[in-house]
């Protein structure tokens, strides 16, 4: 970790002024290499859920969350090479919501790339999104890293095209967190074929970073913290030495390790979701994950905000959250146990109240 420690200190030193007034999860991701001159960073904003009321009125809280995230991203030091938006710019996918969200995002002073969320998709199946932001899935190279962006929130054709009388009804059904009328997310045949062809052109030693909206793993199906064809996507990524998956959607801190793939979530600018075990309507069918997760209190708005650093030099994901109203959190890859580990609170005896609460 020594090759990125200095960069971390420089960022935290200059970022301290932001921390005094910040309540939002801006993630700064550093891709670190043996030669520090090759290092670069990108920022991550996700899950704004801009919601139209009528006329020129929008839900103020969600507007302000995104506006503040954009303002803070513009002040980040070191300056990120680009900003990633992780999906769910809109709440119900309307032209008004997407236009309004795009206008707020246009204040960013850095190049921006986008991941699509289900709230952006299910009204018109992404048609207007594509006009604003481009294709629903794509890949790009940046300073020796191969980045892949997937639309991971598609579902079965019958549910999408035949079940609902109107597009508006379809959108409303998919927008609910625990709606039994929803349908599991998936990447789908079309994108898996494209991904296989895309990765065939990439050397197995090239670091791979995948952006999706839903987790490319199966966490909790009742809330669509789930991707139906996750194992098939993981199989396509298995041959590569260094793979990281970063996702939004869950509005909470999550981390996991499956084989060679490290998984990390980022927080939302709109609101936190509870964890399934803490929610009365959620039956206890949460599958046992590869890594027992110790997560922050989702009802304490400042508990899980911070910056995220990723070290791709050793193929693993290290996450550092600077928490403004709580002790800082570091989730670092344990090279002995071969999995991410919360450096302070992984053990039950070491947990403070917010970590013990859920």
Q: What is the pLDDT of residue 36?
A: 56
Residue 155 C-alpha from the chain's centroid: 19
CB neighbour list of residue 321: distance below 8 Å, 6 or more residues apart: 253, 296, 304, 305, 306, 307, 308, 328, 329, 330, 331
Bridge-based pairing of strands 27-31 and 329-334 is: unpaired
Give me the residue label for tokens 């420089």. Answer: 10
Q: What is the pLDDT of residue 353?
A: 52
Q: What is the pLDDT of residue 33?
A: 59
Cβ pair 33, 39 in contact under 8 A: yes
Q: What is the pLDDT of residue 328?
A: 61
Please give the full DSSP string across 93-147, using - where no structure is assigned: --HHHHHHHHHHHTT-SS-EEE---HHHHTTTTTHHHHHHH--SSEEEEETTEEE
Where the chain has pLDDT below 50, the residues are: 1-24, 279-290, 292-294, 298-299, 301-313, 322-325, 354-358
pTM: 0.82
- Its sign, for the CA torsion 194, 198, 199, 201, is positive
């Amino acid at each position: 970790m020594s090759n990125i420690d200095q960069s971390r200190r420089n960022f935290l030193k200059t970022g301290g002024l932001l921390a005094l007034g910040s309540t939002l999860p801006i993630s700064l991701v550093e891709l670190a290499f043996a030669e520090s001159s090759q290092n670069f960073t990108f920022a991550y904003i996700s899950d704004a859920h801009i919601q139209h009321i009528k006329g020129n009125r929008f839900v103020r809280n969600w507007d302000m969350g995104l506006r503040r995230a954009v303002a803070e991203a513009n002040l980040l030091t070191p300056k990120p090479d680009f900003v990633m938006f992780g999906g769910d710019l809109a709440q119900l996918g309307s032209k008004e919501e997407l236009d309004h969200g795009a206008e707020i995002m246009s204040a960013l002073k850095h190049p921006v790339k986008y991941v699509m969320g289900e709230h952006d998709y299910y009204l018109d199946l992404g048609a207007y999104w594509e006009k604003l932001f481009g294709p629903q899935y794509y890949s790009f190279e940046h300073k020796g890293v191969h980045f892949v962006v997937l639309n991971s929130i598609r579902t079965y054709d019958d549910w999408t095209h035949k079940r609902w009388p109107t597009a508006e009804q379809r959108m409303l059904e998919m927008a609910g967190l625990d709606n039994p009328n929803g349908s599991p997310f998936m990447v789908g045949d079309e994108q898996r074929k494209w991904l296989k062809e895309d990765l065939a052109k990439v050397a197995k030693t090239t670091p791979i970073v995948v952006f999706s909206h839903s987790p490319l793993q199966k966490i909790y199906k009742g809330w669509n913290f789930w991707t139906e064809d996750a194992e098939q996507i993981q199989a396509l990524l298995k041959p590569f030495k260094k793979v990281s998956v970063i996702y939004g959607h869950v509005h909470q801190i999550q981390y996991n390790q499956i084989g060679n793939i490290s998984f990390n979530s980022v927080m939302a600018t709109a609101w936190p979701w509870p964890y399934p075990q803490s929610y009365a309507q959620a039956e206890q069918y949460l599958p046992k994950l590869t890594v027992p997760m110790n997560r922050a209190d989702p009802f304490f708005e400042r508990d899980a905000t911070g910056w995220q650093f990723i070290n791709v030099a050793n193929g693993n994901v290290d996450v550092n959250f600077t928490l403004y109203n709580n002790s800082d959190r570091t989730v670092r890859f344990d090279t002995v146990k071969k999995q991410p580990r919360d450096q302070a609170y992984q053990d039950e005896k070491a947990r403070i109240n917010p970590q013990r609460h859920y």
